[in-house]
Structure 1
Amino acid sequence: MGNGSALYGPLKHLLASLPMRAELRSCCTTEVASPCCPHHFQPTRQQGLDLARGAPAWEIRFYSVAMLEQIHLLAAVTVLGVLEQAYFFLQVIHARRKFGISPPNISGPPEFERIFRAQVNSSEYFPIFVALLWQAGLFFHQGLAAALGLLYLYSRYCYFMGYRASSSDRLTPIYFSTGVLWVLIAAATLGLLHFFLSHYVGLNVLRLIAA
């Protein structure tokens, strides 16, 4: 008994230090939630409290991987969006140097003002986009939200490049990006509505529709 206790500590530490591998998911061959499988492990409230109070490290790591799999696409699109905003900002800096316009001045040749307005407009809509992206991804469907996010970022890039060339070339991309935002709003609203109805009222709309 004493030897077993002496070996438990190092063994527990070794298990906690092992890297996560996708092959571990094969331990669960059914759709039933199980702590042995990071893909299907969906802890209850009590299990979550147990994890927070000091559950084995391998359980916490399994749960973390399962949770990250539900948001990794959203995180990737968010990073791409931040990089796009940085690119737009650098274009404004380049335009300021090119036309000799120092901050805080925002007036100058039409070429500069178009670039400046394109960057400002894109940055104004970016927080709205990120909020809708994550809500639609968490409550409706991550893959759909991520795909819509990529479409939005591409349309914003087309908007910026079109606005830089001509004011009229910005219209089609801005209309398209606005349409994508409305789809994200619809997805987020439906997802939140389904969550509240099923969680607080006990009404599963999807099952009713399927029936």
Structure 2
Amino acid sequence: MSRISLRDLVSQVKINMEELTPQWEAVFERTDGVDIEAYIRNKIPDALSRILLNVSCDLLTPVDIGYGLVPVKNQDGSGQVVLPDDVLRITSFKMKGWNRPVTRFIDQFHPSCELQYNLYTRGGSSKPVCVLGKNDKGHVVIDYYSLSPSVPEHEIEYIRGVLVPDKSADSFDINPLLVSPVCYLCAALVYEILARPDMAAIMMQRSVY
């Protein structure tokens, strides 16, 4: 993992755009009173978020986001954790009392989700299951299955994940292998703003890792 400055990322996006731009086409002129560089700076966090959501976990550097979170225990041994709004992606989750963490999460449409409503088919300490969803307030939650109903208090051992990139940051922690995909994707997003779907499509293809 390397700390890459916003300035360096912007420069790379410009290089990517200039490579495929005809010399007669002034890409970096002001458009509607806005410098193209402003679009680039605004879209870099969005491009980084999209890449981080889709790459394999071995290209990420997760942080522990479970500190201070309190699970809500249900009488049957299942429970729920409400995640902070700045969480982009969860990579692993472990309750105290589980033999192993959950690293693959399902949603409410997954075939295994319905099994969690049955005490005999749901996940337990040996093979826990976590369902990602949203509560009635729109917050992302983890419904976990499960611990023994006799466990008096549910405690989180850890939750590891990736946070949403800060739009006001002047640098970002990025795996060097992801710098090029992020910059190409950013260029694609900028071309979409400029109503150039042809150029956006080319940049999008190059952003695939």
TM-score, normalization by structure 2: 0.26
Task: Select the structure that is richer in helix.
Answer: 1
Task: Select the structure that is richer in strand.
Answer: 2
> Which of the pair has more CA radius of gyration?
1
TM-score, normalization by structure 1: 0.26
Higher relative contact order (CA 8 A, sep 6+): 2
